[in-house]
Amino acid sequence: MAYDTPVPGYKNNTVNNLRLWSAKASREFDLNYFNDGDYIKAVSEKSVSENITKVLYPNDNVFEGKELRLKQEYFFVSATIQDIVRRYKKTHSGFKDFPDMVAIQLNDTHPAIAIPDLMRILMDDEGLCWEESWDITVKTFGYTNHTILPEALERWPVSLMEKVLPRHMQIIYEINRRFIEQLNSMYPGNNSMVSELSIIEEGPEKKVRMANLAIIGSHSLNGVAALHSEILKTHVFKDFYKLWPEKFNNKTNGITQRRWLKLCNPRLSNLITGVIGDGWITDLYQMKQLKPYSEKEDFQQQWLDVKKANKEFLAKYIISHNGIAVNVDSIFDIQVKRLHEYKRQLLNCLHVIAMYNRIKDNPNGNFVPRTVIFAGKAAPGYYMAKLIIKLINSVGETVNNDPQVRDKLKLLFLRNYAVSNAEKIIPAADLSEQISTAGTEASGTGNMKFALNGALTIGTLDGANVEIREEVGDENIFIFGLDADGVSSLKKSGYNPFYYYNNNPELSRVINQIQNGFFSKSQPDLFRPIVDSLLYQGDTYMLFADFDSYVKCQERVAEAFTDRKKWARMSILNTAGMGKFSTDRTIAEYAKDIWNVKPVQVKGPGPA
């Protein structure tokens, strides 16, 4: 069943239609089974078919090869492709204009089965030959890659595909046969290239590599930030790049300023509109007109007043949800995003423990007060992510209840992170934590939301952080740690976490506390798996390599925060530098470079 969801544009006389699908049994109740006395079977067919769209798989950046998930992916694809073909045929008799009238962008590989599905429809239903069908298919599809984490790449067992989608599997084999024939004629005898690029991964269990299928079946392949798109060319898909350099391109992600500033932060929106007008709402590049105001003391003060009001609003939310009073003059240091080891919430938590130890060692010392706020969901089956949430909450218990610490430091984990509370949290941030291991975060968009709302970023040179630094200037962002090349050369030369553990007493003390049950007194071994993953299982995401640089960078943050005028200027310059990160820019680039479509101006009561 189709569900049509209107998507109104912002004062542009346009409402687009988002068509979503739900699986419904064609008959509520099968009377034939019922009449034969099989009551269970009479209703089970309904629940089995409706299960296909019952759940959104909650994984983030990890592949779950469940049969129901494959059926779900195919269900959504099949409904959509049938609908597209039906609509095209209402106004066209042949298929030669199909790629000019239709562009299909694969949002990751989850819908990549659409490639053999369109081939199947064009050949089996519409009677076109292979060559004609393939030409149409490749011209129609584009593929956006969203991650380079190997555990996230979809690799469906051939046996499962043959059972669930036998005709599609035949077509995939034929796509691959012709592709390898082409490879062999271009690079004769290059067997390693063939085994790298083949859609089929050989081994004890043959697998279909959906990314390879998506690249071969599309005319465009893009990453979602400049660094990510470079890594696709030089590492992940480097042999495809040799073969088809013209398919590769970059589309840096964006966010919509209508939701992530105008709607969620009316105080700041009004302050900005008061000085530069409201053109930024539909043209975020106009935000650069704020730059001269970054030097004006009265504007700086108004800017800081807005931030304080937003922090007071969030403080009330925290009281009602966590029962903890926070100091609104402290640094609101915020990391909100899905829980994943590569995003390194654990590194942030180690820093909190280090700050706690410094306060305990010197209770009368001068510390810049901080409120460290986390939120984010872990996939239900992701044990280590769940344990990191538990650690953050346990450290919070210790820190928040220590009478010597008081309002110098608070640590909170807000439950149920989602867009609705992100809209309350982000406008209140002073500091945005974007600290993934360099080379692992494809783009990030949280980083953009925070900077647009005047938070300063502490981050690695990863994903779109690289481009945010280019836009706001090196002096207005706190960059630390290894870059992507540094990470990969340290990995090659043999990374040893013990080296850092043995040479940094502040780090080893923090790790020993976690290991010895300092934060889990009734269950001293509770957090052993976290210590083991860092010390004995190789610290995959290199927290130890970046710890020292991170802690020192946080000291620079605290120092900068005490100079309120300087902080206000940096904050204003962050908002002013965010023009590039509007999704208006991103979508215009997809339209021009990949879909070959031009915007239309619709006449009507709103502005043209």
Ligand X SMILES: *Cc1c(COP(=O)(O)O)cnc(C)c1O
Which positions lie near ligand X, rule CB under 6 A?
337-338, 417-419, 422, 444-446, 449
Reference 458, options 423, 432, 436, 492; nearest CA is 432
Amino acid identity of residue 441, one-letter, is: E
437 within 8 A of 346, measured Cβ to Cβ: no
> Residue 184 belongs to what H/E stretch?
helix 166-186
Distance in Å, CB of 338 to ligand X, minimum: 6
* Nearest residue to 114 (alpha-carbon basis) of 89, 153, 83: 83
- Whole-angstrom Cα distance, residue 591 to residue 105? 11
> CA–CA separation, 326 vs 343, rounded Å?
25
Active site residue 308: no
DSSP 536-576: TS--TT-HHHHHHHHHHHHHHHHHHHHSHHHHHHHHHHHHH
Question: Shortest distance, CB of residue 415 to ligand X, whole angstroms?
Answer: 13
CB of 378 to ligand X, least distance (A): 13
Cβ closest to ligand X, residue 61 vs residue 515: 61
Amino acid (1-letter code) at residue 403: P
Distance of CA 506 to the CA centre of its chain: 32
Is residue 398 annotated as a catalytic residue, yes or no? Answer: no
CA geometry: angle 422, 520, 398, nearest 5 deg: 60
Task: Point out the catalytic residue in the list 155, 168, 311, 343.
Answer: 343
Minimum CB–partner distance for residue 414 and ligand X (Å): 12
Smaller CB distance to ligand X: residue 117 or 462? 462
377 is catalytic: no
Which lies closer to ligand X via its Cβ, residue 339 or residue 359? 339
- Closer to ligand X by CB, 113 or 231: give it: 231
DSSP codes joined into one string, 334-354: EEES---GGGTHHHHHHHHHH
What minimum distance in Å lies between the beta carbon of 87 and ligand X?
Answer: 32
Is 168 considered catalytic here? no
Comparing every residue's Cβ against ligand X, the nearest one is 446
Q: Which of 262, 307, 410, 449 is catalytic?
A: 449
What is the C-alpha separation between 490 and 432, in angstroms, rounded?
27
Residue 90 appears among annotated catalytic residues: no
CA-CA distance, 575 to 555, in Å (whole number)? 23
Nearest CB to ligand X, comparing residues 137 and 443: 443
CB of 254 to ligand X, least distance (A): 11
- Shortest gap between Cβ of 461 and ligand X (angstroms)? 16
Question: Distance of alpha carbon 256 from its chain centroid, rounded?
Answer: 15
In terms of CB distance, is 227 or 422 closer to ligand X?
A: 422
CA distance 259 to 420: 11
- Report how far residue 299's alpha carbon sits from residue 275's, in angstroms, rounded to the nearest whole number: 9
- Rounded Cα–Cα distance for residues 515 and 30 (Å): 59
Question: Which of the residues 110, 120, 247, 338 is marked catalytic?
Answer: 338
Catalytic residue among 437, 445, 457, 460: 445
Tokens 């002013």, residue? 576
Least separation, in Å, of the C-beta of 446 and ligand X?
2
DSSP string, 468-523: HHHHH-GGGSEE-S--HHHHHHHHHH---HHHHHHH-HHHHHHHHHHHTTTT-TTS
Strand partners, 208: 156, 200
How far apart are CB 318 and ligand X at their closest, in Å? Answer: 18
- Between 46 and 259, CB nearer to ligand X: 259
Among residues 146, 259, 296, 390, which one is catalytic?
A: 146
Residue 96 is among the residues annotated as catalytic for this protein: no
Taking Cα atoms as reference points, which of 218, 182, 212, 217 lies closest to residue 197?
Answer: 212
Q: Which is nearer to ligand X, 49 or 421 (CB)?
A: 421
* Cβ-based nearer residue to ligand X, 472 or 568: 472
Asked whether the beta carbons of 471 and 578 are under 8 A apart, the reply is yes
- What is the rounded CA–CA span in Å between residue 435 and residue 347? 8
DSSP assignment letter at 601 = P
* Alpha carbon distance 490, 545 (integer Å): 9
Catalytic residue numbers read 146, 337-338, 343, 445, 449
